[in-house]
């Protein structure tokens, strides 16, 4: 690696063909089968829960009954929720199957069925005030003085359970979202919508000012550029507040028409590639006080592989379309994480992630057509999505400290949009083909000396900065 960087400082072009090669993964199906657990009722309220091998499952806690005779129970060690159908009125000595409802459940989660739901914070049950926003609940729990996002709770046709996200603290527990398709906004205070009959709005730059009875009350920062149904904290309006954080807006650096340029917005900026005056290709968009998106753009929208990295360390990474996850991806909200197939920003097919009890090969998950972890004998690792047994989208860590996150082709080569982090501090983000920089991309060495433009087979052929 040191030799490569020295050459780069001397010559304006270079190739990565030797560096970008990665080993063939070993395909391995999961050896874990969660089916076959059973329960035996020992008295009016107690039971014995056993796995498919007849081993007693300990550290099990009852969850709240939800207007049915089915009892949901939580294995607090393995973080698995089982369902004990018809348990409530079953006779002593009765037996039954215990199918798994959810795995990898966090300590903050919800449990739901068609009749009711309950939330758990640190494995203790609570009921709060909530609103249904496009099948998601925003739930304020007064006892813990916090608001939670219960993502996808109304997407379950029967029983369901999922880790929930604690929203960052906000003034008076008030949050906002944007519905771009319908040109609407929403403000939720302590789990309930504000009275919109008394609310009016005005736009200042990219921000939206919400007035209650003609009094400026809330600022929704970065509203006009925010993706739909992302829940953010409101800002309280004050006479001294200014919705703008920069006196200069517009193209402040480079070529914001057909090149690489930086555009300053109100409370945000974009630094990346442009085409016909629109964000197009690899770029970074930073919302002040909220987070940033790094990845591919098309026609001014987040489109293709990208990573939304919130200031509170939440992550939403995967295939985007029209500003939302649409394809495979994963999200991390606090201690809760999930992965699978998304449609219009909603998780529609969830992929479990479980140990396979092996040290080399597919050590976790499904490394054929879902989500898993591969470990090679030389110490390299990959965590991400697979397609027909090949790497598809994820993060590959080399033993030398280098790391790649992005898309792959069927030959396990970097291809499409991706980001390569060198252990030395160098970095490349942009388009790849057959394991080499190819297309529009951004590079800087360990001294942050930049090379930006069009690459061909690892060589910069057209400079854009």
66 and 143 fall within a common domain: yes
197 and 122 fall within a common domain: no
pLDDT of residue 337: 85
160 and 59 fall within a common domain: yes
124 and 194 fall within a common domain: no
Instruction: Give the SS3 label for residue 445.
Output: coil
Domain with 59, as residue range(s), is: 38-166
Instruction: Give the SS3 label for residue 331.
Output: strand
What pTM, to 2 d.p., does this model score? 0.54
267 and 290 fall within a common domain: yes
8-state DSSP, 142: G
The total domain count for the chain is: 3
Q: Which of 350, 373, 408 is the last residue of a domain?
A: 350
pLDDT of residue 52: 86
160 and 65 fall within a common domain: yes
How far is 178 from 332, CA to CA, in rounded Å? 21
pLDDT of residue 48: 94
Tell me: the pLDDT tens digits for 400-425?
999 999 999 999 999 999 999 999 89
pLDDT of residue 31: 29
Please identify every stretch of the chain with a pLDDT value under 70, giving residue numbers as ranges. 1-35, 238-248
**DSSP of 113-129:** -SS-EEEEETTEEE--E
Is residue 78, in this structure, part of any structural domain at all?
yes
273 and 258 fall within a common domain: yes
194 and 270 fall within a common domain: no
pLDDT of residue 171: 87
Tokens found for residue 215: 């009094």
336 and 274 fall within a common domain: yes
162 and 189 fall within a common domain: no
How far is 185 from 219, CA to CA, in rounded Å? 12
pLDDT of residue 35: 59
């Amino acid at each position: 690696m040191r030799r490569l960087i020295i050459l780069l400082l001397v010559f304006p072009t270079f190739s990565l063909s030797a560096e970008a090669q990665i080993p063939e993964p070993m395909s391995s199906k999961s050896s874990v089968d969660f089916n076959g657990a059973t329960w035996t009722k020992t008295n009016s309220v107690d039971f014995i829960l056993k796995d498919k091998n007849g081993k007693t499952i300990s550290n099990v806690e009852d969850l709240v009954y939800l207007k049915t005779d089915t009892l949901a129970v939580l294995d607090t060690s393995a973080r698995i929720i089982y369902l004990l159908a018809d348990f409530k009125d079953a006779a002593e000595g009765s037996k039954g199957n215990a199918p798994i409802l959810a795995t990898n459940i966090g300590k903050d989660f919800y449990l739901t069925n068609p009749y009711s739901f309950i939330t758990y914070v640190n494995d203790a049950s609570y009921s709060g005030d909530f609103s249904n926003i496009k099948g998601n609940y925003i739930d304020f729990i007064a006892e813990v003085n916090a608001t939670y996002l219960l993502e996808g709770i109304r997407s379950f046709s029967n029983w369901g359970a999922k880790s929930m996200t604690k929203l960052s603290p906000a003034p008076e527990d008030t949050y906002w979202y944007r519905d771009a398709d319908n040109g609407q906004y929403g403000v939720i205070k302590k789990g309930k919508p504000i009275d919109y009959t008394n609310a009016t709005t005005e736009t200042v730059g990219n921000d939206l000012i919400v007035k209650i009875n003609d009094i400026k009350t809330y600022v929704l920062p970065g509203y006009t550029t925010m993706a739909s149904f992302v829940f953010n904290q409101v800002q309280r309006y004050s006479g001294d507040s200014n919705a703008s954080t920069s006196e200069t807006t517009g193209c402040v650096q480079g070529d914001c028409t057909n090149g690489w340029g930086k555009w300053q917005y109100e409370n945000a900026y974009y630094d990346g590639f442009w085409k016909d005056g629109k964000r197009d290709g690899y770029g970074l968009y930073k919302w002040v006080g909220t987070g940033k998106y790094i990845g591919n753009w098309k026609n001014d929208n987040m489109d293709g592989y990208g990573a939304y990295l919130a200031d509170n360390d939440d992550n939403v990474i995967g295939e985007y379309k029209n500003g939302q996850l649409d394809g495979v991806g994963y999200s991390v909200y606090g201690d809760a994480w999930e992965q699978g197939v998304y449609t219009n920003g909603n998780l529609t097919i969830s992929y479990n992630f479980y140990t396979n009890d092996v040290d080399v090969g597919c050590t976790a998950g499904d490394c054929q057509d879902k989500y898993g972890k591969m470990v090679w004998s030389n110490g390299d690792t990959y965590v991400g999505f697979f397609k027909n047994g090949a790497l598809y989208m994820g993060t590959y860590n080399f033993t030398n400290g280098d790391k790649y996150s992005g898309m792959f082709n069927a030959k396990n080569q970097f291809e499409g949009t991706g980001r390569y982090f060198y252990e030395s501090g160098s970095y490349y983000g942009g388009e790849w083909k057959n394991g080499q920089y190819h297309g529009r991309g951004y590079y800087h060495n360990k001294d942050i000396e930049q090379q930006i433009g069009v690459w061909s087979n690892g060589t910069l052929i057209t400079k854009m900065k």
